[in-house]
Amino acid sequence: MRMIVSGGGTGGHIYPAITLIRMIKEKVKDCEVLYVGTEFGLEADIVPKEKIAFKTIHVKGFARKITTENIKVLCKSIHSIWESKKIIKEFNPDIVIGTGGYVCGPILLAASLMGIPTMIQEQNVIPGITNKILAKFVRHIAVGYADSQKYFHSDKVVFTGNPVRKEVLTASRENGIENFALDVNKKTILISGGSRGARSINNAMIDVHAHFAGNKEIQLLHVTGKDEYNGIIAKLRRKSIDIEKVGNIIIKPYLYNMPDAIAATDLAIFRAGAIGLAELTARGIPAILIPYPYAAENHQEHNALAMQKAGAGIMILDKELTGKKLIDIINNLLQEEGKLSFMAKASKALGKPNAASDIADIAIQMLPKA
């Protein structure tokens, strides 16, 4: 089996692709993979480290309004389709899969026009513009949310959920508690604004840390992002909070073992990226969600609303976020009998832990018959 996978720009497109590649390789022993991205996207750094063959095309995303720059982008896009055809002819794939981002547009379009079986995976409730266009050409569309099916109006759509890393599913609560030196008798709250952090969340957490410092019921594991870490530590010191002494606050710039942290978590305070939410629901973790307000098509707010509608999350808009609001919600969840447990069950009901396997099966079924 020979397979081209494409997706890039953000980790939300790249990590699902890597998860799918790993799953398909588990199911198909003789599987050769080529990843197509751009030289400036995150994929150029992440994918080669996974020891996956990597090639680039020259393509740029369209602005979301009519500009003269879009004319240049269109010219580049036409050239990138020619580049894509060349890569496809050289690699000769059996199938081509896209996980979103403008980079996968040319390669999926070229493959479809050349008669090669193609599939896209849409992570968010509101589909990205590239996947909306590609939906007219590909054979199958695997969606992460049931609500996103209506945007495609197609019998090609399958609701699979979003692919989740195996490490998230197999990590144990016991190991997570041990690895972070957590107290097994306290509720653990995990705070993360993504790999780069979120300033609005970090700033709101200053008051939260001050309020709950030394609390006997909860412990806070706060991931600030590398650029934000020193500033947050300095602000806590100005409030005379010594995290080494209070005993229930852990602050990290970055976590390389996020699956262990999720496994040990009772409540998450997160952005509303699709893959982060897929990982939380796969483990049945309730969440307070602060959608990134500048996400394309405002898709994070729609992701968060889907969680809230199901009873698995509570949404706070970024512009309305304050430390006091977080404190009030946390206190209410702790004090209202059974509320956290109810949300955990609702989160678990949303989870699709087998999504990667189901999407892989769809891909394998597309293989040309011998």
Question: Tens of pLDDT along 257-311?
Answer: 999 999 999 999 999 999 999 999 999 999 999 999 998 889 999 999 999 999 9
Same domain (yes/no): 194, 329:
yes
For the chain, which residues score pLDDT lower than 70?
60-77, 370
Q: Is 11 annotated as a binding residue?
A: yes
Measured CA to CA, the distance from residue 22 to residue 33 in angstroms comes to: 10
In this predicted structure, what is the pLDDT of residue 343?
Answer: 98
- Structurally, how many domains does the chain consist of? 2
Spatial distance between the Cα atoms of 282 and 348, rounded to a whole number of angstroms:
6
Q: Is 165 annotated as a binding residue?
A: yes
pLDDT (0 to 100) of residue 366 = 93
pLDDT at 71: 45
- 195 marked ligand binding residue: yes
Whether residue 370 is contained in a domain is answered as no
**Residue 248 in marked binding region:** no
**Residue range of the domain that includes 214:** 167-350
> Does residue 94 form part of some domain?
yes
Per-residue pLDDT at 154: 81
For residue 149, say whether it is annotated as part of any ligand binding site. Answer: no
Task: Indicate whether 369 belongs to any domain.
Answer: no
- 311 marked ligand binding residue: no
Let me know if 272 is exposed, middle or buried by CB neighbors in 10 A (0-12, 13-18, 19+): buried
Is this model's pTM higher than 0.85 or not? Answer: yes
Whether 147 and 11 share a structural domain: yes
Within this chain, do residues 343 and 360 fall inside the same structural domain, yes or no? no
Q: Is 335 annotated as a binding residue?
A: no
pLDDT (0 to 100) of residue 61: 58
Asked whether residue 189 falls in the same domain as residue 337, the answer is yes
* Same domain? 62 vs 41: yes
All residues at 6 or more sequence positions from 51 whose CB lies less than 8 Å from its CB, including other chains: none
